[in-house]
Copies of this chain bind each other. A is one copy, B any other.
């Protein structure tokens, strides 16, 4: 992620302080922040950064494949900087905590051709749900 800014420059992007700060907020942390959380942390370093710019930058990073968008039911999307190693998510049904997990095998392999209905199936996302240690009875 630290060379992300170089990669972006290589694509002809302007390196603005806003983009730099958003990249720094996502850098290194294996977290799954909402756009508003990214905005709050970015504003800690660059107080007047706008929500629109955070949304724009996140959208650009997603389009480049540098960040993944994780849709969690009903609530705000989460942005995942761990885009370079395929993984799935384990979500606590109690508190909403999210962890990266690495299941065995390729989930796509479980879908037989007869169940593909002519689709060109490209990806399989798996969401495991259950109660985390803190939320267990």
Contacts and interface: CB of A to CB of B under 8 A. Distances in A.
Interface string A106-123: 011011100111111111
Contacts of A77: 73-74
A10 B117 CA distance: 40
Chain multiplicity (copies): 2
A42 to B, nearest CB: 21
A73 B92 CA distance: 18
Interface in A116-137: 116-133, 136
A60 B98 CA distance: 26
A124 B127 CA distance: 6
14 contacts: A71-B71, A90-B115, A99-B117, A101-B111, A101-B117, A102-B115, A104-B110, A105-B110, A111-B128, A117-B133, A120-B136, A123-B128, A124-B129, A125-B126
